[in-house]
Structure formats: C-alpha cells, structure tokens
Structure 1
Amino acid sequence: MKLKQQNWGEVEGQSIPVQLFTLENSQGLSLAVMNYGCIVTSIEVPDRDGQKADVVLGYENLDKYLQGHPFFGAVAGRYANRIENGCYTLDDQSFELETNEPLTGQHLHGGRKGFDKYVWNFAVEQQQDAIFIHFSRVSSDGESGYGGNLVVTHTIGLDESNQIHFNFRAITDKPTVVNLCNHSYYNLAGHDSGTVDGHTLKLYAQFYTPVSENAIPTGEICSVLGTGLDFTQAKRIAENKACMPDGGFDHNLIIDASKYEGEYKYAAELYDSNSGRMMTVLTTQPGIQFYNGYKLSNKQWLGRHGERYESCYGMCLETQHFPDSPNKAHFPSTRLNPGEVYEEKTIHRFSVK
C-alpha cells in the first residue's frame, strides 16, 4: 500500500489547509480524496487488460470544486437527500431548514452549506493491507438549522482486495436527525467515455418509495415489478431508461437483504462489458438512491481536464436512509439520541470479468 499526501490549497474563512490524499494498492487501483467535503476526486481502476481509467466524475484542482458542482464525490449531510419543505419535528420542537433545491422547493443534502462545504480534520491509519483516512468535524447546534452538536467521523479507505470503504460514525448531545452518504458519480468505462446507458445494473431491491411531483416520498412502498426500476435481474440501463419519464432515474430503492456478506447486505452490481470493470456495492444502510445523472446537462460542467460532462455521463448509487424519513414514522428512523451511536458502512468492491 502506498500513500501520498499533498497540499491542495485553502478555503477562505476556514483555518484547516486542504490536503489531497492518494492511496494506491498493489493491484494498481488508486483512490484520491481530500479533506474539503471528504470529496473523492479520483478512482483509477485497471480494466481486463490492465489499462487504467478514472471511473468517477470530478476535477483536477480545488478551485474548480470551489466554483460549484453537483456533489461530485462529496459527503452529503447532515441529512442526505430531501426533507419536505425543510421542516421536521422532534419531541414537539420544530426545526426549519433551507429549501435549497430550486426545482422542487425542498431541503437537499444539508442545505447550501452542508457537510460538503467544510474542511475536515483528519488522521491517517496505515495497516499492512489497507489505508484509512479518518475525517472528523463537529457540526454545531443550529448549523444549517439542525439541532444538537453532532460529532462526526467519516472514514474513507482502500484495501488490497480492491475495496473502497465509506464508513460513518456520529454522536450528539441533543436529539437530531442524521443521514450521511458519499455522492460519487461513476462511469466504469472512464469519466471521459460518454454515457453510462450501456452499463449493466443489478439492484438488490424489490421495492421502492414512490415520490410526488415535488420529489418527496408519498409514504407508499411499491413493487418495482412492471416498472423501469426493476433491476432485480441485471439489465442494461438503456433498456429500462426508455420506460422512465425524461429517461431519468432519481429514486430510493429498498435493499431487500436477499444476499449477505457478514454485516453487509448486497445493494448493487454495476458492469461495463467493454472494459470488463465491475463494481459491487455492499452496505449496512437500508436504502440506495439510484440517480443516472440525467440532469447533468442542466448546467455546463467542464470536468477533469476540460471534459464536458453531459446528461448520464455518470451515475450515483447512494447508500443511505430514505428521503424525508423525519416526516415518515414508518420509514427506518434517522433519529439519533444522546448516548446512541450512528454507525453505517458501505463498501465499493472493484473487479474485472
């Protein structure tokens, strides 16, 4: 295992310098991540012939990230995904958050200055077969409207089994809500190779949470059978895309726990037949948000080395709790109380076939 650490600049108004960490294993897989927003900037993966490509959308310097981006590789929090009208209630106390998603009028990914906009503290753990970067910060009581001082550790690591780890741990001094995930956009053919429509996807999910026109779950739990969300058998994304309005996927699916590996449930398998690259997603989380990046063309995103990222050039498989859970009592709870520990883990395992 190799580790390289370099200065990557500074963020105005934040005292911690930005550092970029590059981790590489003996299989030739490398991961680059910085402590600003815990952003994964690069994942280079060999194909079946040993040729490497960067399989995540992103930028080559800090300045581009500071100019704005659609959560390329970043942590989303304090609450990933949406909360209806930015409002929730805990113990008869109402909390009002920003409604920062213009198209829907909802609270999204923690607000305009969520966890992705902070420079985190860090500690490096080097093992013989793995390297982990432990990012940490305190989200203060009232930050972005949320209650409670939340002490958060987000660990990102790489091991010799070609596994990238995304682990979360948090405690609070007041009741609050927590939902954290990594928001990387993947293209297993390479970030500069066009759309992911030709990728084959399997989701270990037989049910999903339908949403109303404002992108908030209705509260129903519906079967994927007979819908474009049926990836219970591996299918080319393009095949199901034709069944979706605007060709868009941005849906929370309920992981069915039909296949386990220790404490982890299988959530997804993504495959690019041209390169032979495969990514298997395992998690302790109850849901996975599948977003195929169909809205990327809404703005001009000039990515790494000037590559223009168009609609569906990358896709997200965000393991998380369900959207709007604070307002849906029958959804898995996102409440965290003093004395409890929030802990969730996800693995992205890379292979070729």
Structure 2
Amino acid sequence: MAASDPGFTPILLTLPSLTPSLALEILPAGLTLHRLYVQADGKTHDILIGPEDPTGHITQKYTNTIIGRYANRLPVGSFALDRDGIHSVVAPKANEKPTVSLHGGVKGFDQYVWEPLVDPSASQLFTPAELATIQTRIPTSIIFRRISEDGEEGYPGKLLIEALVGLAQPEGPPNQTPDGAKEWNLGSVVLVYRAKLLDENKITPINLTQHWGFNLDASLQEGPETLSIKNHKIDIKADHIVELNPEGLSTGKLLAVTGTHHAHAEKMSGKIGESFPESGYDEFYVLSKRATTPPPSILPASELKPELDLVGAALSRDGPAAEEVVSLAGAKSGLRISFATNQAGVQFYTNNFALPEKGARKKIHGGSGSVGDGYGPGTAAFLEFHAPLAAWIHPGVRGSSGEDTLLASGQVYNNFVRMDVWYKAPSTPSA
C-alpha cells in the first residue's frame, strides 16, 4: 500500500439523526476504523487512538485495522490439517521473530485495500434476510470484500471474505445504574466477518479480529491522567487466560484468573491500574460459559439459507447474542462501551510496545498530529475478540465452544461483535 492509495480516503458513516451521537470514519486500506466520534452532553470525543493523518496507519501498524488470516501469534513451521478426508498444509510465515508469525504474517489482511460493495445485493455471504435487516436496522453500513489467494502467507485455499461495518441506532430504555443514575445508549458499532473457501477439498485456519484500541477520556485533554487508561474500569467475564511462553505463543494450557490481577471484577476499584503488571496487559481471556449459547463461528454453507438472519441475532437485546461479556468505562468522560460477541475470547492489550517518538497522536487527544508526539504504553485498551490462540493445535484452550478455528470447503465462517456505546453524566463532587 502506498500513501497515495485511494484506500486512505475516509468513508464517513453517521447515524440518521438531527443530532447524531456516533460517527465512524473507515479506511478501505486495512479495513481501518480511523475515527469513532461520540457526541455526549455537548462534547465530541474520538474514542479510538491513532494517527491524525490516515496514511499514518502505514507505519503505526495494527492500530484499529482488521487482522488475518489468523489473529495474534502462531508458531512458524509446517502443520498438517485433516478433517473428514480433507487434507491441507499451513505454513505460517515468520515476521515478529524467526519462530513467531504475528497477525497473519509478513503481509496480513491489514496491508490490503478492501473493496466496498456499491451494491450490497452483490454480497455472496450475507443472506437476503440479513440484507433486509441491514437496510432497516443498520442503514449506515458498508460491506467490504477481498479475496485471499491460495498460499497467501502460507495459508491454504482461496478465501472469499466479506466484512460488514455499520452503525445501529440506540435501542431500549436507559440503564439504571447502582448509584441511581441513568445511563443512556448512544448507538452501536456492528462488525460481522464472513468467509468461505472458493476451492474444493481445502481446509484453512481462520481467526479474524479488529485490532482496535480505546481511550474514553483522552479527548478531554486534561493531561497525563486522561491520556492513561489506568483509571478506566474494565470487566471481562472470563474464568481463564491462555498460558503463554516467553515468545507470546500458546502453551496449550489455561490458567485460572481467580485471585490474580486478571480477575478484574474482583478488584476493589475495578480500575485497570490496580495491580497493573510491570509490562502491562497482553493476555488472551477465555470467556466464561454464557447463559445461552451464541451462534457458532463455523457453520455448514447449506445452513446459509435465504431466510437465515444471524445479523438480526447479533443485534438482539434478549437473544443468545445479548449477553455483555466485556465492559470498559472511562474515569471522567461518563462514557462506557460494552461488547457482545459469538467469539470464545478477547485479547486485552494496553499498548505496551508503543513508542511515542515513532508515532503520531490525534489532535483531539492533545497531540500535534505529527510523528514524534505519539501515544506511549498504557494509553489504550485494545479489545480484540476472536478464538483462542492456535486453537487447532491446542485442544485444551478452545473454551466452551470447542471450536478449532479450522474452515473447510463447504463451510462458512461467521464472526460478530456488537459494541454498545453508553453515557452517564459524571457525578459532581460534593462542595
């Protein structure tokens, strides 16, 4: 991708309202969520970190981009894949280290320009019922497409991917919070990834995610305190994390979070900064078993019938996709974001490897917009929803879904995340 590529021209989505609460800027380059504006109580926030200039994403890698074919870290090598008589070989390419393939390899999905479908009915992976739901309930949305060729970065099979990115109107009454205040829903960001192998008799690992990083207070521009996310409150409904070796690769074992700094809900304050690890957070949390089983990530293509509507299920507030699995709240802005998903877990990363001198910070976050004035460690909470690392290699980390992240010919990959944005007026200190 070159800086002159039209993929860096932002596409703006806004909710159809006289006073829009949400607006999203998308770059086709890397399917990047460049800005997410939230308007609350007369103040405009951008809750995503990142460069001011869209082309800054070329060097500030993995900032709000899609990640694929496989999220996070895989061991480099050659691995045989077999299922129901289908045989393939995957050979992840080294990029982070000679033994580690990170986020899809040398040229992952984040480095390609994705094609926006001018006519949504040209979609091959969303059903007529889903397209009708998108039109009525996510009217400001786009379906993007790309084809990953057989052998790309060592992954077998020619893969068609379609990604729905959209904004949904706020629904339902306000929440009543424990302190008696009202918390208002400002709308939702909806991401749905679909994929299908175009080759016969192939099988490939697939594990997509959005590598988005949040700071809910930075737009207040009140100095280091609001640029840090250590005062944000987080709740991750997880019983275990995946054990990692020194290279960040899965060992195939799970570790209980109870009694550790990973048990965020157990903390007295609930703040990220309480018991903050010396090197920050960069862990995969396997979500607890949910009250109702969400739709699967892999389903037979034969089930993708015209009347099937998994998008509607993702939007439902009282169905299997309704359960809030992660919540992140700002310390001062009154903003909170919550997530529902059909994925088995979430990677929580606190921007540990960020180098301010090599990046740029948005002006709305108090930066100059120029390189050399970027974000440092602890300035963002990245929340990346996907399946456990190397799940096809390590059966012991698959969680309650049991899914191994292998997609075979004749199947469809289905990954959704709904992020709800909430606002509660910050309490006024007593005189």
User: TM-score, normalised to structure 1's length?
Assistant: 0.89
Contact kept in structure 2, 1:255 and 1:287, CA below 8 Å: yes
Distance change >3 Å, CA 239–CA 259, structure 1 → 2: farther
Corresponding residue of 1:5: none
More strand by share: 1
Aligned residues: 336
SS at match of 1:273: coil
Cα deviation, 1:128-185, whole Å, max 9, x if unaligned, reads 5531110101100011110000000011111112100111000012210100000111
Corresponding residue of 1:70: 61
SS at match of 2:411: coil
Distance change >3 Å, CA 274–CA 311, structure 1 → 2: same
Determine if the alignment matches structure 1 residue 276 to structure 2 residue 337: no
Corresponding residue of 2:208: 180
Match of 2:410 among 323, 336, 339: 339
Match of 1:99 among 65, 71, 94: 94
Distance change >3 Å, CA 276–CA 233, structure 1 → 2: farther
Corresponding residue of 1:236: 271
Structure 1 stretch 182-191 or stretch 138-147: which is displaced more? 182-191
Determine if the alignment matches structure 1 residue 263 to structure 2 residue 317: no
Corresponding residue of 2:38: 45
Match of 2:26 among 30, 33, 41: 33
Determine if the alignment matches structure 1 residue 127 to structure 2 residue 135: yes
CA distance in 1 between partners of 2:334 and 2:103 (Å): 33
Corresponding residue of 1:146: 155
Larger radius of gyration: 2
Corresponding residue of 1:3: none
SS at match of 2:227: coil
Cα deviation, 1:190-245, whole Å, max 9, x if unaligned, reads 3664110110000011111111111112211221011111123471000031xx2x
SS at match of 1:238: coil
CA RMSD of the aligned region, Å?
A: 2.2
State the percentage of identical aligned residues. 26
Distance change >3 Å, CA 157–CA 296, structure 1 → 2: same
Structure 1 stretch 32-41 or stretch 303-312: which is displaced more? 303-312
Q: Where in structure 1 do 4 or more consecutive aligned residues deviate above 6 Å?
A: none
Distance change >3 Å, CA 118–CA 62, structure 1 → 2: same
Which amino acid counterpart does residue 354 of structure 2 have in structure 1? L
Return the offset for 1:45.
1.1
Corresponding residue of 2:184: none
Return the offset for 1:274.
0.6
CA distance in 2 between partners of 1:214 and 1:186 (Å): 25
Corresponding residue of 1:164: 189
Match of 1:207 among 235, 240, 255: 240
Contact kept in structure 1, 2:115 and 2:146, CA below 8 Å: yes
SS at match of 2:52: coil
Mark the runs of 5 or more structure 1 residues left unpaired by the alignment.
1-7
